[in-house]
Structure 1
Amino acid sequence: MSLRAMHFVMPGGVDDPRTPSGGNTYDARVCLDLPAFGWQVHKHAIDGSWPRPGAAARAELARTLGEMADGSRVLLDGLVACAAPEIIAAETERLRLVVLVHLPLGDETGLDPGLAAELDARERRTLRSVPAIVATSEWAARRLVAHHGLAPDRVHVAAPGADIAPLAAGTDGVSRLLCVASVTPRKAQHRLVEALATLTDLNWSCVCVGGLGQDPGYVAELRELIDHHGLGDRLQLVGPQAGAELDASYASADLMVLTSYAETYGMAVTEALARGIPVLATDVGGLPEAVGRAPDGGMPGILVPPDNSVALAAELRGWFLDADVRRRLRAAARGRRAALDGWAATARSLAGVLGRLGRDERKGAA
């Protein structure tokens, strides 16, 4: 099978194990899987403080696009594309552009309101100028259409896949909690700390896996909160993990907990479910899609309101004390595990978007 060429423009550091993120994992995996669906991927990693790049990064983006042949198909990570709408708009007539949105820029928690509005406006200009957008969940697609006034037929969904892994043995079936998320205000680990501080009468331990460098101020405040509640010997911030180290953390987990304020999907949720680990997560964005249901309709997790440590604590206490709850959730998690789509499904969806761009243009030319 001869492969058709496409270009993938992404932020620098996607393959850096020191800065793991759902977006980085997504970008790296689809580069590996797209060739199976007929596409040869030419990667262009552009270093910069995306989505707030300096002049050098913007110049590199303009140069990279400018050197591509007319009619080239180009997939752009939204962090890069939506930061520079004037550069993208200048190439929309010449190149076949698709923007992949991992998280709407204005949805990041903790931004100055003026900056959030500026990023939101840049994103709107970019997405309105390109022929196709890819979102990573049905929820995100609906939000982009409604928020930015986009035509629904231009917004497509390619949800993240999950690699089925061996069933997690857990620790004792009850007490080991795992949170996999960058330690940032949007992931709201402070709400987890507040909830666990009310459960010190119970036997539990918690490991928080995730990058510590994105918001050092928040990390410092979180460590102070942990110390304030005397949880230092029970709740650990272990930093980023990958490979066998991350697999070991999942293998010892009894319950996955994610307390985010905003998520377009929640890949850590499906990574846990791929190991049969039940999930306790906030009811925001695409997280309900990621949690999903087992084929028999069973719910493999519990959803709680965001920013509500009391509700979180109540559900955790129920998990710790009610064996029937644990059995039901574990059975549903194993059912959901068997029904998860792999990364090939993600690549197939993206390949379909890229292919339709070409067919649409040939029809127009005819």
Structure 2
Amino acid sequence: MKQVHVLVPDGIDDPRRPSGGNVYDRRVCRGLTALGWSVHEHAVAGQWPRPDAAARLAVGAALARVPNGEVVLIDGLLASVLPEVLEPEAGRLRLVVLMHMPRDEAREVAALSAASAIVATSDWTRRWLLDHYALPKDRVYVVRPGVDLADLASGSVSGGRLLCVGAITPAKGPDLLLEALATVDDPAWRCVFIGSLNLDLEFVDELRRRAKDRRLADRVCFAGPLTGAELERAYAEADALVLASQFETYGMVVTEALARGLPVVATQVGGVPEAVGHAPDGSRPGLLVVPGDPHALAQALRQWLGDPVERARLRAAARSRRLTLSDWTQTSRELSAVLSEVAD
């Protein structure tokens, strides 16, 4: 039986801190186990990606317990900031870094250079790593996130039930979305923001004040982080996903929406176009706009809300794209192939 040791941040299953990276880590650990791997998980406490001395020592101690020659899969949130811990182990262990989000730092270059392989979660991320860092091309792989196919969302006639999923932080652009929505006169829209509210308290307070000042408080809802049945219900009741992110390496919420036949209105950043993809007939199951421009986002929302023919076209494209999405079993198979190559 092949073995892999997996280092992940502590709190990977904390419902108060949901993230795409945590979901990816958890699903591939389960998937590798189902494929016959012996998975040894090491959850390391720390304020990642800003670890203190104790967190650094904990990662070093976890690696020291791994026998010589074993494969170690390390979440990039940990690996990217610990080159001094990884480099001494690079000759003894076969280190594989799972890169969810590049940090564009010199320390990250050193950490990745110590790895036997780097796994990017999108083609865009792989290109970014190769463009910015002097990494051998044959050591950087792509293993995209999977998604669970879900029941189709029924959708309303108006299309006005908008959903935004992501931590309420400036990087996710909820302030830009709020500014865009303030200029959309269509009376049908309501928007639910789902995501952690405690990562930037000042920003969240300012967002609530702005919603009140723009007389939007009764049309927007900051629901906090949702998981399980509550999150499923939110997707099922939505008409479209809106994503105003400034930076995304992939955007797992995009495929989560498409898995329910929901069209996507999103900024054209990073790996988002890759996640949105195309239906088999070549049509886009959503509208992509330039990032950082609330006017462009508002125009796309008016197009979605104001044109029933366009809504029908986008819904048909989303339902068609839904049937082409890869599942987590495929993701686990692809990661297994990378780990097997490193092990051999």
TM range (shorter): over 0.9
Q: For 1:16 and 1:294, locate their aligned partners in 2 and report how far apart those are by CA, in whole Å.
A: 35
Q: Secondary structure at the match of 1:105?
A: coil
Q: Deviations over 1:29-64 (max 9, x none)?
A: 111111233312111010101111011111110000
Aligned to 1:257: 242
The residue identity in structure 1 corresponding to 2:116 is: P
Q: 2 CA distance for matches of 1:213 and 1:89?
A: 34
| TM-superposition CA deviations, 1:166-217 (whole Å, max 9, x none) | 0011344511000011111110100100000001343210000001111112
CA deviation after TM superposition for structure 1 residue 160, in Å: 0.3
- Assess if the C-alpha contact under 8 Å between 1:11 and 1:79 holds in 2: yes
2:109 to 121, 124, 130: 124
Q: Which residue of 1 aligns with 2:19?
A: 21
TM-score, L = length of structure 1? 0.92
Question: 2-side partners of 1:350 and 1:280: how far apart?
Answer: 30
CA distance in 2, matches of 1:201, 1:44: 50
Query: Which amino acid in structure 1 is aligned with residue 165 of structure 2?
Result: V
Please list every run of at least 4 consecutive aligned residues from structure 1 whose deviation after the TM superposition is greater than 6 angstroms. none
Instruction: Provide the identity percentage.
Output: 52
Cα offset, 1:272, TM superposition: 0.3
Match of residue 343, structure 1, among 320, 328, 332 = 328
Task: Encode CA deviations 1:86-133: one digit per residue, 9 max, x unaligned.
Answer: 100010000010000101124xxxxxxxxxxxxx11111101121100
Gaps of 5+ in 1: 107-119, 360-366
In structure 2, C-alpha distance between the alignment counterparts of 1:332 and 1:99, rounded to whole Å? 35
Q: How many residues align?
A: 344
Question: Quick check: 1:131–1:154 contact (8 Å CA) kept in 2?
Answer: yes
Q: Determine the structure 2 residue equivalent to 1:276.
A: 261
For 1:110, the equivalent position in structure 2 comes to none
User: Residue in 2 aligned with 1:159?
Assistant: 144
Q: After superposition, where does 1:226-237 map in structure 2 within 5 Å?
A: 226-237=211-222
Secondary structure of 2:72's partner? Answer: strand
Which residue does 1:293 correspond to in 2?
Answer: 278
Distance 1:220 1:69 in 2: 49
Instruction: Tell me whether 1:239 sits opposite 2:237 in the alignment.
Output: no
2:190 corresponds to which of 180, 194, 205? 205
Q: Which amino acid aligns with 2:74?
A: L
Q: Matched residue of 2:7: which SS?
A: strand
Task: Please tell me whether the aligned partners of residues 172 and 254 of structure 1 are also in contact (alpha carbons under 8 angstroms).
Answer: no
Quick one: distance in 2 between partners of 1:173 and 1:353? 46
For residues 27 and 16 of structure 1, what CA distance do their matches in structure 2 show? 13
For the pair 1:137 / 2:122, whether they are aligned, the reply is: yes
What amino acid is the match of 2:120?
A: A
Distance 1:82 1:97 in 2: 12
RMSD: 1.0
Q: In the alignment, does 2:97 pair up with 1:99?
A: yes
